[in-house]
Amino acid sequence: MTILVTGAAGFIGSNFVLDWFEEYDEDIISLDKLTYAGNPENLKSLENNKNHIFVKGDIADEKLITSILNEYQPRAIINFAAESHVDRSINGPKDFIDTNIIGTYSLLEMTRIYWNNLGYKPKNIFRFLHVSTDEVYGSLENNEPPFSEMTPYAPSSPYSASKAASDHLVRAWHHTYGLPVVTTNCSNNYGPYHFPEKLIPLCILNALNGESLPIYGDGQQIRDWLYVKDHCTAIRLVLKNGALGGTYNIGGRNEKTNLDVVEILCSVLDELMPKKDGSKYSTQIIYVKDRPGHDKRYAIDATKLESELGWLPEETFESGIRKTVEWYLGHQDWVSRVQSGEYQNWINKQYQ
């Protein structure tokens, strides 16, 4: 048996693949376009694993997708492939339209053709799991209840709008063609292999380098934080037992302001890697101009996933952030290689 994982060299995708092999010996075909955030080093530990095959390619390449499906006959596809950074979507939305909408369409169509030609038993067990985000629901006020699976979509950035479109396509292919799909919508992830343009890895690395820790606006934007390995556990469970055509919200029940996140992170660094001059890392915090259309609050109600499938996150934010900081401290070689010229140019442009 084989599964196909798209976006497998990215942050969440690579964690999923690595965690999968800790639980199963089932073959994985990892597909990734290897754009700036797709890092083959994330999967380096699998170089000699006979159950793992890596393919460089785009989910919008219909000829390639057809070839992979026909050759390896996967029983499931887990679609992580996406452009996923709000700031980048504001500066260059076309890539998000191309990958998140057109790419998802192409993957769905090639999958539908493949699935229709399967025999009775493999057709019945096949699943297409689409990984999405809580940002499709828009923004919450502080007194509003968290997003549930019934919350209307109200995306407010090019990124979230493109992901909302992909979610609608996935559900339409189930409703119209019967394709056996499941969708998950997760809150903000953090953990190992996170590309250092996002808040947590950016602040870890900037703190260690004696640089400023940039926080948008007043830092009071609220996010629900989910440790990436808890997310991977939930996806495996939804893949196995999720209802066809269903949607499952995945959240960590860890609502924090951006300022709280950075201050907690600084406290962990103060303990694990104290500065030689005895000062606190929090003194490096600065406030920068807020980004356009910055959503105020995201929060996930994961009751459906917890009650139907019995999932609960194992990590609190405090335990998860400690593991994350320890990982970055222990993988400085990975950090130095991922900080390419393109990455530095992006950071300079975004936080000048």
Q: Report the catalytic residues.
A: 134-135, 159
* Alpha helices, DSSP H, located in the chain: 11-23, 62-72, 86-91, 94-96, 104-116, 120-125, 158-177, 199-208, 228-241, 258-272, 303-309, 317-330, 332-338, 341-350
What Cα–Cα distance (Å) separates residue 73 from each residue in 3, 52, 70, 113?
A: 8, 14, 6, 12
- Which residues are within 8 A (CB) of 259 and not within 5 positions of it... i.e. 6 or more apart? 215, 218, 219, 220, 285
CB 247 within 8 A of CB 186: no
Residue 3: count other Cβ atoms within 10 Å of its Cβ.
21
* Phi, psi (rounded to 5 degrees) for 55: -125, 125
Q: Of 193, 270, 203, 183, give the one whose Cα is nearest residue 229.
A: 193
Tell me how many helices (H) and strands (E) the chain has.
14, 12
Residues in the chain: 352
Residues 128 and 181 sit within 8 Å (Cβ to Cβ): yes
Radius of gyration for the alpha carbons in the chain, expressed in angstroms and rounded:
20
The answer to whether residues 183 and 171 touch, using CB atoms and an 8 Å cutoff, is: yes
Cα–Cα distance measured from residue 86 to residue 101, given in angstroms and rounded to the nearest whole number: 16
Task: Say how many C-beta atoms besides its own lie within 10 A of residue 215's C-beta.
Answer: 22
Q: Is 350 left (phi over 0), alpha (psi -120 to 50) or beta?
A: alpha
